[in-house]
Amino acid sequence: MASRPVLLVIAHGSRDPRHAATVHALVRQVRAMRSGLRVETGFLDFNVPSVQNVLESLAAEGVRDVVALPLLLTRAFHAKADIPSVLRQAPARLRIRQADVLGPSPLLTAALERRLYEAGLSPADKSSTGVVLASAGSSDPEAIAVIAEIAREWRHTGWCAVRPAFASASLPRTEDAVRELRELGCAKVAVAPYVLAPGFLPDRIARGAAGADVLAEVLGPAPEVARVLLERYDAARQPLITAVGA
C-alpha cells in the first residue's frame, strides 16, 4: 500500500517575523490533528525554506507524491499563477497535486467567530453588533466577490450587519466600513480580520479598526483553520491515491 502523500503547505512569506511564526504554529496544529502525516512548509518569498528547495529535498529523499496546499483564503493571483509556476519547476520524479485554497468554508466562519468571542464579544451580543469582515484585498474580481458573499452569508447567522472591507486594492477600507456600521445604528462594531497571519496588511486593518469596539486577532493557528487544511489535503489526495492504485 502506498504511503500517504506529503502535505506541502505553501505560504506567501513576509519580512515580518510574526508571519512565519504563525504559519509554523498552524502547521504544528495540523500535525497534532493528523498523527503520522508528514507536513512540510515552503515559502514563496522572504522566508526559508523556499518551495523549490523543499520540493528538491523531498525528491532527493525518494518521495513520489506531494499535495501542495496554498495557504491562501481566496483564489487570486498567487493561487492561479505564482504557485502553479513554482510547481511546474519541481523535480520530474515528483507527482504533485495542487489543493484548493482554504476559503470559503463554514469552518473559517467559525474561526472568525471564535476570534471575536476571544476578543470580548459573546453570542448574546450578535444581534446588536455589526461586523467588518476585513480582508487583505485583491485586484482579482473573483476573490472580491467571494469576500462579499461570505459577508452576506455570515449576516444571516444573526449579526446586526456584516460589511466586507479591504486593506488594499479594493474598497471600502476598514475605517469606512466601521463608520457605515455606526451610522446604521449597530450598538457595537467589531472588526474580524479575515487573514491568516500578522503582517503589513493586517496591521493596516488594525489601524482602520481604531473606531471599533472590538478588534479580533488574525485567524492564525485556530483549530478550525487546521481542520480546513486537512479537508483540502484529503480532497486533493484522492486522485493521487487512485492513480497509484492505493
Residues 198, 147, 51: CA angle, nearest 5 degrees: 50
How many C-beta neighbours within 10 Å does residue 128 have?
Answer: 12
The pLDDT of residue 128 is 98
The per-residue pLDDT for range 133-185, each reduced to its tens digit, is 999 999 999 999 999 999 999 999 999 999 999 999 999 999 999 999 999 99
CA distance 30 to 71: 13
Show Cβ contacts of residue 242 under 8 Å, excluding neighbours closer than 6 positions: none
Q: What is the pLDDT of residue 241?
A: 53
Q: What is the pLDDT of residue 186?
A: 98
What 178-183 contacts at long range (C-beta under 8 Å, 24+ apart), as own/partner pairs, is 178/132, 178/208, 178/209, 178/211, 178/212, 179/211, 181/130, 181/131, 181/132, 182/130, 182/211
User: Residue written as cell 446586526?
Assistant: 160
Q: What angle do CA 13, 14, 19 make, to 5 degrees?
A: 85
pLDDT range class, residue 1, cuts 50, 70, 90: very low
Q: What is the pLDDT of residue 77?
A: 80
Q: Is the pLDDT of residue 122 over 60?
A: yes
